Amino acid sequence: MTKPPDAGLAAPLQLAVAQLAPALRDEAANAHAIAAVAHAAGADLMLTPELSLTGYGVADSVHGLARAAAPGQRLDGLSAFDDLPGQVVVGLIERAAGGPFNSAAVLEGGTVVFRHRKVYLPTYGMFDEGRWFGRGAALDTWSPAPGWRAGVLVCEDFWHPGLAYVLASRGIDLLLVQAAAPGRGVTEGGEHGAFASADVWERIARTTAQLYGIHVAYANRVGVEGGITFAGGSLIVGPDGAVLARAGDVGTATLAVELTSAARDAARRPYAHARDDDARLVMRELARGLDVFGPAAP
Amino acid sequence: MSDTDAVARVERVVCGVVEAALAASGAAGLLVLDDRSPEGELVHGWLQRAFGDVAHRITVLASNVQGVEPAAAQRMVADREYGRMLTVHPVNRTMLLLGGAPPRADLLPLGDVYASWIRRLHGVCTLSDEVRAVADAVGGLERLDAALADWIDARADRAAALAGLDPAAATRLMELYERGRFYRLWPRLVPKLGARTLGIDLWD
């Protein structure tokens, strides 16, 4: 039986992306700002930038700002989150064995329902995260609404395509990416703003969306810490790789798009990527290349 | 995109960093340590547009204190007359890399802007005599800045980045660069515009 083209398997998902300017080390103010945007947006699911609760350059304050954020846990002392609408993905510093971690926590009514710990910690050039944070060691997905499956990555994670691949292989419809991406390339400028570096993020987001036939939401922050200006340029990309919504490179903003499974299906129909992908082959060849099971047979 | 657009972008980013520095420091205002250079005019103009009366300028072209060079006299006047302000020096990136000890100011807003870019916009830029001599020896300021950008911003192998330059000039360039290494390790605030910025991701 053939489904009508616009049938879809899930109700539309109201997605919001909040481009924020977190105040460094001021969790109370940041929580209020996040809650205010969430209430105004009224979305089913809202994404905020990396470390939206604490700001990025916390340095030695990392331990003082770390908080327990395991699934099932309420975030202590943040009453602004008690009545959040829908689900909100906040960036915070998680206190746990092996940490602290740079984590994305999905909150529902102030309780953590899902959590991703940043896997790849940039520790080169201007970045020093390996000094402050422990590495995440797992990937998982969750269902933000009936019929929808989502995954989340944090900043540098998105530059390692293997992670998006793993999540896509688990059948996600939506990939959420938190970032605190600094702006570079001001004298050259970018396609849509002041920073040439923002163009690269957009290319990665659009390519990822199209390769896997998924929606990609990218929440980058704005504002300044020290000499670093964060580049903004938050995006929502459709499963065909088209940009559905874009924020500027300066100033806070809220993007809002209704996601439909029909759009996902329509984007995937011309191709057979999901059907033909062979994750076991990938795993086998990765293991062979890494010599996991001993030398390959001649 | 035009140079006008590029200047507007740079101005916006620089002023954003300065605004955040003002807020974070609690300073009463900004004091541009000016020497009537094109960079000084540029920076003071930006800061006045962005911050109005909060942005001051002090110019000391000559010193009446025996044995005290103008820059030092400038600082003495600044400390005495202007209280707790963030000092701003308009040194360009070429001079920051090759000019020896960086100016002693809290903010170096053009620290990521090469002298050749300034000259393209204004017809002139500020170079010390010794840096100008190296620029002339390698075939011009654009050639010098291109070599610096290749070597430092793009992290190219030094030998490859300086290949094609007159060997004696390349040696002199390296001498000037090495001379400032100690001071570059502990710089003042430079707004990040490019690939590698002193104090943020350039520790060399």
Residue A55 corresponds to which tokens in the numbers above? 């700001």
List, for residues A121-166, the tens digit of each pLDDT value: 999 999 999 999 999 999 999 999 999 999 999 999 999 999 999 9
Q: Are strands A87-94 and A101-108 parallel, antiparallel or unpaired?
A: antiparallel
Q: Band of the pLDDT at A5, cuts 50, 70, 90?
A: very low
- The pLDDT of residue A6 is 38
| Pick from A125, A194, A227: CB nearest B191 | A227
| Pick from B117, B192, B195: CB nearest A229 | B192
Q: Tell me the C-alpha distance between B144 and B139, whole Å.
A: 7
Selected for mutation to probe chain B from A127, A129, A229, A250 (highest B CB count within 10 Å) is: A229
Q: Is A257 helix (H, G, I), strand (E, B) or coil?
A: strand
Cβ contacts of A283 within 8 Å, gap of 6 or more: none
Distance of CA B134 to the CA centre of its chain: 18
Residue B195 corresponds to which tokens in the numbers above? 């690939």
Given a contact cutoff of 8 angstroms between Cβ atoms, the answer to whether A252 and A34 are in contact is: no
- The pLDDT of residue A293 is 62
Residues B147-166 have a mean pLDDT of: 91
Q: Using the beta-carbon criterion (under 8 Å), do B20 and A223 form an inter-chain contact?
A: yes
CA torsion sign for B57, B60, B65, B66 is positive
Q: Is B26 left (phi over 0), alpha (psi -120 to 50) or beta?
A: left
DSSP A2-54: PPPTT--SS--EEEEEEE--PPTT-HHHHHHHHHHHHHHH--SEEE--TTTTT
Given a contact cutoff of 8 angstroms between Cβ atoms, the answer to whether A202 and A231 are in contact is: no
Selected for mutation to probe chain A from B192, B197, B204 (highest A CB count within 10 Å) is: B192
- The pLDDT of residue B60 is 62
As a whole number, the mean pLDDT across chain A is 94
Please name the residue of chain A whose CA is at the shortest distance from the CA of residue B189.
A227
Q: Tell me the C-alpha distance between B168 and A177, whole Å.
A: 50
- Please give the single-letter amino acid code of residue A74: R
A187-196, A222-231, B70-79: segment of lowest average pLDDT = B70-79
DSSP B98-157: HSSSPPS-SB-TTTTS-HHHHHHHHS-----HHHHHHHHHHT-HHHHHHHHIIIIIS---
Q: Kindly state the percentage of chain B with pLDDT values over 70.
A: 91
Residue B129 corresponds to which tokens in the numbers above? 């005599």
Q: Kindly state the percentage of chain A with pLDDT values over 90.
A: 91
Q: Using the beta-carbon criterion (under 8 Å), do B192 and A223 form an inter-chain contact?
A: no
List CB contacts (< 8 A) between B94 and chain A: none
Q: Using the beta-carbon criterion (under 8 Å), do B10 and A185 form an inter-chain contact?
A: no
Q: Tell me the C-alpha distance between A48 and A91, whole Å.
A: 7
Closest CA to A224 of A182, A169, A167, A196: A182
B31-35, B42-46, B173-177: segment of lowest average pLDDT = B31-35
Q: Band of the pLDDT at A298, cuts 50, 70, 90?
A: low
* A11 interface with B at CB cutoff 8 Å: no
| Pick from B5, B6, B20: CB nearest A224 | B20
Given a contact cutoff of 8 angstroms between Cβ atoms, the answer to whether B68 and B76 are in contact is: yes
| Pick from A127, A227, A250: CB nearest B190 | A227
Residue B17 corresponds to which tokens in the numbers above? 């960093």
The neighbouring-strand residues paired with A133 are: none
| Pick from A125, A127, A187: CB nearest B10 | A187
C-alpha distances in angstroms, B117 versus A198, B7, B138?
22, 10, 17
Q: Using the beta-carbon criterion (under 8 Å), do B6 and A188 form an inter-chain contact?
A: yes
Residues A79-108 have a mean pLDDT of: 97
Q: Using the beta-carbon criterion (under 8 Å), do B200 and A226 form an inter-chain contact?
A: yes
* ipTM field: 0.85
Residue A119 corresponds to which tokens in the numbers above? 């896997």
| Pick from A125, A126, A187: CB nearest B6 | A187
- The pLDDT of residue A64 is 95
Q: How many residues does chain B have?
A: 204
Q: Measured between CA atoms, how close is B194 to chain A, in angstroms?
A: 5
List CB contacts (< 8 A) between B17 and chain A: 224, 226-227, 229
Q: Band of the pLDDT at B81, cuts 50, 70, 90?
A: confident
- Residues of B at the A interface (Cβ-Cβ below 8 Å)? 1, 5-6, 9-10, 12-13, 16-17, 19-20, 112-113, 117, 189-197, 199-201
The neighbouring-strand residues paired with B58 are: B33
Q: Is 80 exceeded by the pLDDT of residue A38?
A: yes
Q: Using the beta-carbon criterion (under 8 Å), do B17 and A186 form an inter-chain contact?
A: no
Residues B38-59 have a mean pLDDT of: 89
Q: Tell me the C-alpha distance between B32 and B78, whole Å.
A: 10
Q: Are strands A235-237 and B55-59 parallel, antiparallel or unpaired?
A: unpaired
Q: Tell me the C-alpha distance between A238 and A210, whole Å.
A: 8
Residue B178 corresponds to which tokens in the numbers above? 């090495």
- The pLDDT of residue B164 is 87
Selected for mutation to probe chain A from B4, B9, B11, B118 (highest A CB count within 10 Å) is: B9
Please name the residue of chain B whose CA is at the shortest distance from the CA of residue A127.
B201
Residue A131 corresponds to which tokens in the numbers above? 């000094």
Q: Tell me the C-alpha distance between A151 and A140, whole Å.
A: 7
Q: Band of the pLDDT at B61, cuts 50, 70, 90?
A: low
CA torsion sign for A286, A290, A293, A295 is positive
C-alpha distances in angstroms, A88 versus A111, A144, A277, B159?
10, 10, 32, 51
Count of CB pairs separated by less than 8 Å, A with B: 67
Q: Band of the pLDDT at B1, cuts 50, 70, 90?
A: very low
Burial A211-236 (b: 16+ CB within 10 A, else e): bbbbbbbbbbbbbbbbbbbbbbbbbb
List CB contacts (< 8 A) between B191 and chain A: 227, 229
Residue A158 corresponds to which tokens in the numbers above? 């998105």
Q: Is A175 helix (H, G, I), strand (E, B) or coil?
A: strand
Q: Tell me the C-alpha distance between A198 and A3, whole Å.
A: 39
As a whole number, the mean pLDDT across chain B is 87
